[in-house]
Structure 1
Amino acid sequence: MTDSSIEALNQKLDRLIEAVSRLAPPPVPQTDIGAADCFVWQADPGYLEPVRRVNRVDIGLIRGVDRVRDILVDNTERFAGGYPANNVLLWGARGMGKSSLVKAVHAQINARTKSDLPLKLIEIHREDIDTLPKLMGLLKAAPFRFILFCDDLSFDHDDTSYKSLKAALEGGVEGRPANVIFYATSNRRHLLPRDMIDNERSTAINPSEAVEEKVSLSDRFGLWLGFHKCSQDEYLDMIDGYVRHHGLVVDPEQLRAEALEWATTRGSRSGRVAWQFTQDLAGRLGKPLRD
């Protein structure tokens, strides 16, 4: 074989190797679960991405939800201690601190226990719910305990992934691993639009069974924690807490008047509106917000 033919063969082999490497999927990154307390589940390729800096507020700043806060703390504390606990659905009014409370409770429990095996919080995106069985399979042999958290969970028409959630939570052959619990927030108590349930009732051969299939999803959550619109006093109390925490100095009467005007222009009162007002106030005062 001549030198030129060998060179041509080598070039063909190089191109073949390059083509095969493009077809082969990249290796899945290995997750060090001990590297962080919070993760985001990346369903493709199946990787837990550590979150070094979590976007959360101190639990003492979440006002107007004392009862549900105490219930969630108790449930989470029992789970972290290895005792029976329930999946939780936090549902109700927008902007009242549902997701903030989950993250704050997680931080508080870890601060209290100071365990060598801290409680882990894993966020799973709504569109990846059908990969829950895969995620649970990865976690069940780990020495840690995990809160799987899905923010703003709901299902629309022709969306069948709710069946995967039902099976993963309670109804599957394996069931939910003992070291895993599922927390979700939603604006809907039943997670499905009312007209979807009503349509099933009107068109199904057996309406009661059809509706039961849809509504029973929320039954997989042992705790339903409702969040409702706050009163004016609760709204002002939220702002007072933020102002004190961040060291903002402002005349009380001026603060009250501006806070009420802000809520009027927004057309609502909530924890989110209170926080947005605080951000605006700090900006006008030229003061940074504390971590």
Structure 2
Amino acid sequence: MSGLAPTVIADIQHYRQQARSLLLYYAVWETPPGQAFLQLLDALYASDSDSCLQAYGNWFAALAKPGESWCSHLLQRILEADNPFSHWSQQTDLAHLPTPLVQAARHDLQRLQSLYGFPEQTLAHWVQTLCQLPEPPVVWQLPEPAPSLKLFHLTNWSDGLDELVAHYRHHGTGLFARYRALRWQKGQLLGIAHADPIRLDQLAAYDYPRQILIRNTEFLLAGHRALHVLLYGSRGSGKSSLVKALLNQYHPQGLRLVEVAKADLQDLPQIVEQLRLVPLKFILFVDDLSFEEDDDAFKALKVVLEGSLTARPDNVVVYATSNRRHLVREFFSERPRPRDQDEVQAWDTLQEKLSFSDRFGLTLTFEAADQPTYLTIVKHLASQAGIQLADADLERQALQWATRHNGRSGRTAGQFIDFLQADLALGEGDSD
């Protein structure tokens, strides 16, 4: 069995040393493609043909699963890097970063550049030679889009370090660079890979609250003190869709959304502190907000809305939706009566509950859709869906749908259009 030539073994050892000598960007190897790449180099260097075939197959599959090339994968890991250099870069200009940190970043970029230019065909040829295959294994190779940053076009990547610093500051790092939407779950932030793609131009009616919320969000993005907002109104009026659409509109400008469930509201102060120093803008999104009596989440949200000894960060706002104008449930039995002497300031306690929604800087009301509003939404969605029906026919079917299903609302209109579009498409298919 013939092995690899000594010159090839020397080349493999060189690449292994390059990969393992990273000081800051070692996390690029913590992904499945990165791990498989290192294992493949190790198997080639050890001239282990069985391990080599398995490692090559693992590397091929790890790249094929997300459908990305080796070069694209490596660049994306650099742009999303979560390490001391990327952290410092978000707060400090390159000229003021610690010299050893800058030197380490240049060192790593030079080594990553050599691995970026590593030809996949060479790996396949080495595998063929070592394993005595009649032909090289299939090469996973895709058309390469032009790199987004100019530094990746330079002869020496380290010469473009200032551009990389600017990228980290504008787009964030780690999860914040990889995802536009996140959720807080079990004490940590998790990325949402497939966020709702709803757009602002898909929304109709409710022009006033929509424009006010857009304006407040633009204040946040511009670095001004934006207000916390309560979106109050009837079910299905599009409150949650509006917040999600803001994210899709403004995420290129540094907006991120963090979804917080009611059960996790007690963690709000912790979440805010985690986001305080990140140079992006955040909406903490709480959907369908309401409280029971003596709810600990009530107290946690109150601290975030009103502040405490810790200054409120300017890059975080709370947007909450609710079907209740008064967020804390109130019972007639709770109303103070003259004969009740258990609490001296009982009316003060009741008023604190009733006025909790006033602690939001803005309360935007979404009234129940009347018939003209409902039909306006239906026509808007029908136009976007490319449905071509006479207005009278569309209105008749839409009103029948609302009567037979969930009443007039934006949600009902969307469900009607989805059903109608599928029904029309299926009818056309049946006629072919």
1:212 aligned partner: 351
- Once the 2 structures are TM-superposed, how far is the Cα of residue 189 of structure 1 from its aligned partner? 1.6
Distance 1:106 1:53, change over 3 A: same
Q: Which residue is equivalent to 2:204?
A: 63
Deviations 1:199-242 (A, max 9, x none): 15445432221113213421220000001011211111111111
In structure 2, what is the Cα distance between the partners aligned to 1:47 and 1:267? 37
> CA RMSD, aligned part only?
1.9
TM-score if structure 2 supplies the norm length?
A: 0.55
> Is 1:265 the counterpart of 2:400 in the alignment?
no
1:119-130 matches, cutoff 5 A: 119-130=255-266
Larger relative contact order (C-alpha < 8 A, sep ≥ 6)?
1
Task: Write the distance in 2 (CA, Å) between the matches of 1:214 and 1:171.
Answer: 18
For residues 170 and 149 of structure 1, the distance between their equivalents in structure 2, rounded to whole angstroms, comes to 17
Pairing 1:59-208 to 2, within 5 Å after superposition: 59-110=200-251, 114-115=252-253, 118-195=254-331, 199-202=334-337, 204-208=343-347
**How far apart are the structure 1 equivalents of 2:273 and 2:250?**
25
Offset from partner CA, 1:137-164 (integer Å, 9 cap, x none): 1111111111101000101234232011
Q: After alignment, is 153-162 or 254-263 more displaced?
A: 153-162
Pairing 1:226-245 to 2, within 5 Å after superposition: 226-245=365-384
Could you tell me how far 1:167 is from its partner in structure 2?
Answer: 1.0
1:224 is paired with a residue whose SS is strand
Deviation of 1:253 (Å): 2.2
Output the amino acid matched with 1:138: Q
Counterpart AA for 2:360: F
Q: 1:48 to 1:267 in 2, by over 3 A?
A: closer
**Partner Cα distance (2:401, 2:217) in 1:** 35
**Which is further off, 30-39 or 262-271?**
30-39
Which letter does structure 1 place at the counterpart of 2:281?
A: R
Q: 2:406 touches 2:412 (CA, 8 Å); kept in 1?
A: no
Please report how far the alpha carbon of residue 58 of structure 1 lies from its aligned counterpart in structure 2 after TM superposition. Answer: 2.0
Amino acid at match of 1:221: F
Relative to the length of structure 1, the TM-score reads 0.80
1:35 matched residue in structure 2 = 178
**Higher fraction of helix:** 2
Shift of 1:267: 5.3
**Relative to structure 1, is the Cα distance of residues 210 and 55 closer, same or farther in structure 2, using a 3 angstrom cutoff?**
same
Q: Which runs of 5+ in 1 are unaligned?
A: 1-29
Contact 2:209–2:365 (CA under 8 A) maintained in structure 1:
yes
Contact 2:224 2:314 in 1 (8 A): no
Aligned residues: 250
